[in-house]
Amino acid sequence: MPLKYGPLGMQPDDRYRIVPETRMVEMLALLGWPYESGSPAAAEGAKEALQAWIQIGLSFRRAANGERLFDPIEVYNFMKRAGFDGHDGFWLDRFVATQRRMYLDMAGAKSSGVRTEKERRFVVDFRRTFHLRPVAAESKLRLRAPLPLSGDYFQDLQVTPYAETARPSQINVSPGRMEVRMVASGEAEAVLGAKLSFTARLQEPSPGQAGGCPESTLYLCEREGLIVVSERIRALAQSLAGNDTPPLEAARAFWEYINGKLMSGMLHYDQIDLTSPCDWVLDSGWFDCQLGSSLFVALCRARGIPARLVGGYLLYQAAPTNHFWAEVWIEDQGWTPFDFLSWDLSQGGRDLEWRDRYFGRLNHRLTCERLPREFTGSLGVPIPPAWCLFQVPKPGGVEISFLDLSNGAPVYADTLCVSPIA
């Protein structure tokens, strides 16, 4: 009998089910077997996992040719739900185990998780391919891609940008972004990329940051993108951490709430109430890295604690990916990071040994945005109303595609290859 599963953080709908089974298997192979990318065993294991979820209630639709089509967000969240509820082993045995292994590899540790390398040198090949078929010829375009931001945890950056278009244009490089201005010529795609080399440091508490938060009013704003301090958020913050609670203790209370009461997955942003997105998270019981961090920031701001949203890339060699986390201003420490990757590492907040791995500290990262001051900006091509990110392995790295869910066509695709240098 199919499993009557709990909420998946989204409303299932056939219109989202556009990814063929063969492509879904590629995504699942990356989630469960990134170290064996491309191997027959990884593909077979992914096929078996997908079939097992269908048996307990995962939905799909049939294409005209009979092929099964899936919604990658529904599949991802079903994997989490079935694993969290104890109906299937893939999430714990493959996904969580893989996340922990990548964490330990980044730490330079075998099993304990003790960080042994404060600094690491990286070489990254980043390539963004813009798919231009929907763009009318002779349209003026300003295409953008992210670049690293300098900071206390990042140094010795060397950037070699490149572009591949039918009409070459000068590449403009500025903090957090690179861009080209061009006129569409009817070509199918254009590429904007860069070879990066840099040294990244661990982000850890560093007592000695005296004085208050610079521009504290900016980081207490009650409405900034997905960060919305509603009356409901204000009441929740007050119930979790009253007025006299010190900032770090308040952050702890918010951290425990999000890790212990909500589920981490992927979201359909066209289903989110953007007038009160943090309230939507509380109603749905689900968050992704961007909305979970936004909720955490909103709770901090509701208590008068400066906080901000930060974006960039995880530098796991086996499976690098884009990501968001939060930073909170803690007196005598300065900007202090918090990352809800902890949810999966700690088996949904239930493994206390792993839950605090990203409480106030981070491993090596590629930071590209510190909102609202520093950001990459508009992509440069139209964004469809319904979309999702879809990640699959590529030789030496990964490909992260931004898919239009009305037809399955990619809007753009990032290829990311990471090489740590010993």
Q: What pLDDT does residue 313 have?
A: 97
- 218-370 has which CATH code? 3.10.620.30
Which of these, 365, 380, 375, lies nearest to 175 by C-alpha position? 375
pLDDT for the residue numbered 212: 87
Q: With 0-12 CB in 10 A as exposed, 13-18 as middle and 19+ as buried, what is 153?
A: middle
CA distances from 222 to 48, 237, 245 (A): 46, 13, 20
Q: Which residues contact 87 (CB under 8 A, 6 or more apart)?
A: 3, 5, 56
Distances (CA, A) of 179 to 78, 168, 219, 242: 38, 12, 28, 46
Residue 79's beta-bridge partner residues? none
Residue 419 has, within 13 A of its CA and on its CB side, a CA count of: 10
What was the pLDDT predicted at 137? 85
> Does the structure show a pLDDT above 90 at 170?
no
Does the pLDDT at position 1 exceed 60?
no
Q: Which has more pLDDT, 341 or 420?
A: 341
pLDDT category at 79 given cuts 50, 70, 90 is very high
- Which run of H or of E encompasses 180? strand 177-183
In degrees to the nearest 10, what's the CA dihedral of 407, 410, 411, 416?
160
> According to the model, what pLDDT value does residue 150 have?
86
List the one residue out of 397, 321, 317 whose CA is nearest residue 38: 397
Query: What count of other Cβ atoms lies within 10 Å of the Cβ of residue 408?
Result: 15
- Candidates 72, 58, 25, 17; CA nearest to 407 is 17
In the chain, where are the structural domains located? 14-107, 119-201+390-421, 218-370
